[in-house]
Amino acid sequence: MIDNTAVIAASAIIEEGAVIGANVQIGHFCFVGSQVIIGAGTVLKSHIVINGITELGQDNHIGQFSSIGEVNQDLKYNGEPTRVIIGNRNVIEQNVTIHRGTIQGSSLTAMGDDNYLMSHVHIGHDCIIGSHCSLASNVGLAGHVELDDFVLIYAASAIHQFCIIGAYAQINLSTCVVQDVPPYVIAQGNRAKPVGVRSQGMSADGNEHHAIERAYQLIYHSGKPVADVKDEIDVMAREWQRLRVYNAFFSRSARGIIR
């Protein structure tokens, strides 16, 4: 079903069964598969492939030569009906690839709202990206990577499969991450090491920053086991709301954290 307010270039191919919402714009030489849903106000520039069981929310902007929902690069994949779901108001620039999930994972590759993916970003199968994340050019996420909200990744960085990047973490230029990165931590190098606490672009007041710094010191300089550190941060989080993201992070972290 194609809404009568959608604007579709004559050279675009829209397979029967696709759902195209109000005021969608689809540029020249785009391909939209039969199981795709595109929400109102979304813009596809040109030469874009949206395929598979893929749902785009409202007011997304997709740049030229991007591919969303195509077959993933997991050699175990055998054509199972896995999905991609993308939320609202995301900006996905040129030459970005986002692959469908696998049944060995969650069968889903997902992204929340208000994210910014610069050119040549790759999002592997079963990745789960939160909201308000920014990924610079040539960032690569291997399969099953999770990014919590407000993550910032600088250009040419690579994230190993199954890694978790906690909320507000920052991955500096050309960094290779092979273990989990706790919330608010700045990671840098090959292999990634913690180099400080992120403060740029955050609205926390001075006392909250002090609490975040205290959590960082507990994790990296107290010499205590992670289980004990987690318990101490849980107590601190009763007073400081911004520390509550640590509980969600540590409850999922399985690869160990960067050191």
pTM over 0.85: yes
The rounded distance, in Å, linking the Cα atoms of 153 and 165 is 10
CB 49, CB 68: distance < 8 Å: yes
Q: Which of 143, 144, 148, 180 does the annotation list as catalytic? A: 143
- The yes-or-no answer on residue 130 being catalytic is no
pLDDT, tens digit, 9 for 90 and up, residues 81-136: 999 999 999 999 999 999 999 999 999 999 999 999 999 999 999 999 999 999 99
Q: Which of 224, 158, 167, 220 is closest to 191 using CA atoms?
A: 158
Q: Which of 99, 120, 122, 125 does the annotation list as catalytic? A: 125
- The yes-or-no answer on residue 143 being catalytic is yes
pLDDT, tens digit, 9 for 90 and up, residues 4-46: 999 999 999 999 999 999 999 999 999 999 999 999 999 999 9
pLDDT of residue 199: 82
Q: Which of 224, 246, 226, 222 is closest to 234 using CA atoms?
A: 246
pLDDT, tens digit, 9 for 90 and up, residues 50-75: 999 999 999 999 999 999 999 999 99
Q: Which of 126, 148, 149, 180 does the annotation list as catalytic? A: 126
pLDDT, tens digit, 9 for 90 and up, residues 199-250: 876 666 778 889 999 999 999 999 999 999 999 999 999 999 999 999 999 9
